Chains A and B, each alone.
Chain A
Amino acid sequence: MADPSAQASLQPRPQQTQPSGTAGSSAMPGSANCDPARPGLSQQQRASQKKAQVRAFPRAKKLEKLGVFSACKANDSCKCNGWKNPHPPTATRMDLQQQAASLSEPCRSCGHALADHVSHLENVSEEEINRLLGMVVDVENLFMSVHKEEDTDTKQVYFYLFKLLRKCILQMSQPIVEGSLGSPPFEKPNIEQGVLNFVQYKFSHLAPKERQTMFELSKMFLLCLNYWKLETPTQFRQRSQKDDGTAYKVDYTRWLCYCHVPQSNDSLPRYETTQVFGRSLLKSIFTVTRRQLLEKFRVEKDKLLPEKRTLILTHFPKFLSMLEEEIYGENSPIWEADFTMPASEGAQLGHPTVISPAAVSSTPSFNKSISCSSSLGAMSLDTAASEPKTGEKRKLPEALTLEDAKRIRVMGDIPMELVNEVMMTITDPAAMLGPETSLLSANAARDETARLEERRGIIEFHVIGNSLSQKSNKKILMWLVGLQNVFSHQLPRMPKEYITRLVFDPKHKTLALIKDGRVIGGICFRMFPTQGFTEIVFCAVTSNEQVKGYGTHLMNHLKEYHIKHSILYFLTYADEYAIGYFKKQGFSKDIKVPKSRYLGYIKDYEGATLMECELNPRIPYTELSHIIKRQKEIIKKLIERKQSQIRKVYPGLTCFKEGVRQIPVESIPGIRETGWKPSGKEKCKELKDPDLLYNMLKNLLAQIKTHPDAWPFMEPVKKAEAPDYYEIIRFPIDLKTMTERLKNRYYVTKKLFIADLQRIITNCREYNPPDSEYCKCANTLEKFFYFKLKESGLIDK
């Protein structure tokens, strides 16, 4: 039944208006990209994890922790500068579960109570307490660094920062690095500008695709530099004998204080190396960094994405050599403050273009001037750096398809001419009969209508957001009000003020769906580029425009937008009405993003389910269903052709009606005559001795069945015991059924067997709560059979 109010709500109620200070306030480094040139990521993760943990403490425990760094205020004469626990924890590491000390507990050194040390914190806001706690964690980490560090110069800087932060906790002030270092930026133009100038200077004459490649390389190089660990002044002196290294030592200290340490220590203001340093630092480090970089890529080339691998291994060395000339060359123009290129050539790099890869000229598209508005400026610098170049980034999918085209064709693949011929047939109106029913047929793609409407200009999609630093244009503000109205009507359980605050927050953006100049739906989201994910905050379509595929098309546009901005994960807290929608959009309850990456960033909602969607940058999402439909048509035509060539007719398979779920492909009668061959050496090997595999599996299954935790999985789940089981679990399986399948020689490959075993476990986890008895059994059993599988050599260790 369709009740407009019931289906409206897509988002859960907020549990609390905003998570305490942890989100937003800190610009944590780290990103989704698994770049080999990024050390220290785990250190950052540990730090942020620790902070989240500490900030979740009860107030008493927090005070105790801060007390350790707070001067005693019992009387003026007391010089004690930190409360010391009279009962120091026995373990070397502070036990987190330990009971909080009472306020009356006396200090081990001065004898005054804990209360005397923390009296100044009595009326301090929770947010400030959390900020101080963050510094405490950072101080503790610095303490460890001081101890572990062997290089004297580095140790000295660490110790200075350690003292600085301690002082700041005592005085509840902001840490500011003082002294003769000066303040960033240290040189202009910065490295980033110089390198971007270099790309324009050297490559703007190239074809767009090649220019794009060079631009990608420059971005990668800058990213590497930002996360690169510089050599110590001592190493530097040893390497370059003629330079005494004084200048380098200053730069190195600056780099430690402003760039390197703040990466894992967010109490300190953080700057990116390539933004605050210029040519002089690059001159000092380039030769050695270049060598290390290339070495690192060589060593880790197998971990690189295939597309990236070609890029790096073939173009990067040459790119770096050319850059070297400009760094050390006498009159290189790229370091001039007013470097410009002729507009006609230069403009193409940063020019905003339409977002839709379909590039239908009539399609009104995203308003770029808004989407790359300054609201992003506050976020991590690596986005800020690439943001104005979105026009270039857009071309990425094109570059990828080019790579695809070069892919080696699979043996036995259908010849390209045949595919082309078939394509000609299905796109030729004269060759196809019958009415165009795609919109009406029950299997029309969900977003077919929406896609057509967008193409005809009936609906438009725009990414918009509020900005505090520049005046937003009136239309954008009207749309934002429209979005706020749609969200608050469709999500009646969300407080209107809350919606307003987030929609107008400059850090949030909204993909708006516009029809006849009015907002009829949208997705409000917040990007966390440093964390490598985006939070979906609100998502709604006005009730009288629902079930038209707009929701799907919105989400597909959002996916493409994020691929262009190199964020490949969506996270959202979905309420019970929204789970269905998100599932259809490819979200799952399986969360792959590590908890430390989103904890404290994403808004937490009580009673809602966290869901994730991983994006594949090779998929053009808004066209996907269309492409698949085309592929189906082609396959159908190819099958028809094949059928007209081979005239033998087999009776259809009946085994599925008899309850068999899956059968091996090679057992289908006639399949070999069509030219089909089993692929992979593994299967061939297994097929040689089916009895060996059979006995092995039989033995294994017997062992599993006698395991003490196998009892819940012995037989099919009875409907009487779990009435909704078969609605939730689509592919039920159990040990008894597996035994039968084994007997029927169904397990012709070990893959089939392992898949069924694994499904027992995943089914159990899907249906039962994680702490249930059943799931515990499943956990033990899973461990057990993987152990056994390894033992018997069926899977690699």
Chain B
Amino acid sequence: MTAQVGSKSCVTMALVSADTKISELLTELHQLIKQTQEERSRSEHNLLNIQKTHERMQTENKTSPYYRTKLRGLYTTAKADAEAECSILRHALDKIAEIKSLLEERRIAAKMAGVYSDSDPPRKTMRRGVLMTLLQQSAMTLPLWIGKPGDSPPPLCGAMPASSDYVAKPGDKVAARVKAVDGDEQWILAEVVSYSHSTNKYEVDDIDEEGKERHTLSRRRIIPLPQWKANPETDPEALFSKDQLVLALYPQTTCFYRALIHTPPHRPQDDYSVLFEDTSYADGYSPPLNVAQRYVVACKENKKK
């Protein structure tokens, strides 16, 4: 792939340096994971001690000051250990995020090079099935938001809306309301190309025909997709609730349709189960279908078309 795009040397250089950076980061990540394991086995000993102390206290059936002091010390150590492990894990998560963003940058650079080099023949579009698999993967690898105690989920985590002045970055995936050829309005899955602060308009590419269909749309026609998954076990308030009206990506397509939440996810990796509005069914809704958190956004207009 790289070689084909490489007709412009600067692009090639950028890609090569990104490659080196990524492999460095991967090495660091590997180190961090090893450290996590070391940290765990180290704290294991202390945790075992705590357990034994508790057992001994139970057999002796009294809480002597000795045990109290001992336990306090042990618990302080355990807490420090856990925090250390936690910080390593967070560090590792940061590395993963960094790698992902580098990959994303590289992808955008490659895409730009592809679009703007006219000596290359137009790239064949991806087979639809492949595109669908990619979309599913991207939903699966969307990072789970892990807050510190007391933190509330940030905007764009699960169902949390973006702040009113939020501007999506180039490369971000959004739901975009476009006019189709036949005049109908449709919410499609698109990728941000640019945002103009002077006109307050986005330029977006239809995810389906990469580089082929570009739309210029005002802010209100764009809904940014969540950038983190919300954890149903810790942040259920950041999820859409049952019967809420949403826009959800219809499985195996690149279009968003109005739907009702049937059941919210129970575990971090679970999908929403939603009922799409569909007049071809007797009750006006499709049977429940699964849609990942990544592709469920709030539905702005509540009135029916």
Contacts and interface: CB of A to CB of B under 8 A. Distances in A.
A547 B255 contact: no
Given A1-B206, A2-B255, A545-B252, A442 B129 contact: no
Given A442-B124, A492-B280, A1 B255 contact: yes
B17 interface: no
Contacts of B252: 2, 4, 543-548
What are the 3 A-B residue pairs with the smallest beta carbon separation, nearest first?
A2-B253, A544-B251, A547-B128
A3 B253 contact: yes
Interface in A423-472: 439-444, 446, 449
Interface stretch (B130-138, B162-170, B194-202, B238-246): B130-138
B280 A2 contact: no
A440 B253 contact: no
Given A1-B255, A440-B133, A446 B127 contact: yes
Interface string A70-93: 000000000000000000000000
A484 to B, nearest CB: 14
Interface in B128-178: 128-130, 132-134, 137
- Interface residue tally on A, bucketed by range: 20 to 34
B250 A4 contact: yes
Contacts of A5: 280
A99 to B, nearest CB: 49
Nearest to B137: A440
Interface string B245-283: 000001111110000000000000000000000001000
Interface in A526-562: 543-549
A762 B47 CA distance: 81
B80 interface: no
Contacts of B128: 2, 547
Contacts of A489: 280
8 contacts: A2-B254, A3-B253, A4-B253, A5-B280, A443-B127, A546-B252, A547-B252, A548-B252
A442 B124 CA distance: 9
B255 A3 contact: yes
- Interface residue tally on B, bucketed by range: 20 to 34
Contacts of A543: 250-253
B85 interface: no
Given A1-B186, A543-B250, A547-B128, A439 B255 contact: no
Contacts of B137: 440
Contacts of A1: 180, 186, 188, 206, 208, 254-255
Nearest to A488: B280
Interface string B290-302: 0000000000000
A402 to B, nearest CB: 35
Contact of A548 (B132, B206, B208, B253): B132
Contacts of A439: 133
A440 B130 CA distance: 6
Given A4-B253, A441-B130, 7 more contacts: A2-B208, A3-B186, A5-B280, A440-B130, A444-B127, A544-B252, A547-B132
A545 B208 CA distance: 17
Interface string B207-218: 010000000000
B57 interface: no
Interface string A491-502: 010000000000
B108 interface: no
A5 B252 CA distance: 12
B126 interface: yes
Contacts of A4: 250, 252-253, 255
A544 B289 contact: yes
Contacts of B289: 544
Nearest to B128: A547
B275 to A, nearest CB: 12
A548 B129 contact: yes
Nearest to A442: B126
A65 to B, nearest CB: 47
Nearest to A545: B252
A499 to B, nearest CB: 14
Given A1-B180, A1-B188, A1-B206, A449 B251 contact: no
A439 B127 CA distance: 11
A439 B128 CA distance: 12
A544 to B, nearest CB: 4
Which of A440, A489, A547 has its CB near the most chain B CB atoms (within 10 A)? A547
Contacts of B206: 1
Contacts of B129: 444, 446, 449, 547-549
B136 to A, nearest CB: 10
A773 to B, nearest CB: 32
Interface in B42-96: none
Contacts of B134: 440
Which of A2, A439, A442 has its CB near the most chain B CB atoms (within 10 A)? A2
Interface in A1-16: 1-5
Nearest to A439: B133
A429 B206 CA distance: 38
A446 B129 CA distance: 7
Nearest to A8: B280
Nearest to B253: A2
Contacts of A548: 129, 132, 252
A545 B130 contact: no
A235 B254 CA distance: 76
B236 to A, nearest CB: 26
B262 to A, nearest CB: 14
Nearest to B289: A544
B184 to A, nearest CB: 9
A492 B250 CA distance: 18
B255 to A, nearest CB: 6
Contacts of B132: 547-548
B113 to A, nearest CB: 17
A547 B252 CA distance: 6
Contacts of A549: 129
A250 to B, nearest CB: 64
Nearest to A549: B129
Interface string A1-39: 111110000000000000000000000000000000000
A146 B280 CA distance: 61
A3 B276 CA distance: 13
Contacts of A545: 251-252
Nearest to B254: A2
Given A2-B255, A449-B129, A544 B250 contact: yes
A5 B206 CA distance: 19
Nearest to B186: A1
A516 to B, nearest CB: 12
B127 A449 contact: no
Which of B124, B134, B252, B255 has its CB near the most chain A CB atoms (within 10 A)? B252
A8 to B, nearest CB: 9
Contacts of B253: 2-4, 543, 546
Nearest to B250: A4
Nearest to A448: B129
A547 B186 CA distance: 20
Nearest to B257: A4
A5 B277 CA distance: 12
A449 B133 contact: yes
A492 B188 CA distance: 23
A441 B132 CA distance: 12
Interface in A469-515: 489, 492
A544 B255 CA distance: 12
Interface in B14-49: none
A770 B253 CA distance: 38
Contacts of B255: 1-4
B249 to A, nearest CB: 10
A444 B254 contact: no
A442 B127 CA distance: 6
A771 to B, nearest CB: 31
B68 to A, nearest CB: 54
A180 to B, nearest CB: 64
Given A1-B206, A2-B208, A544-B289, A444 B251 contact: no
A306 B122 CA distance: 46
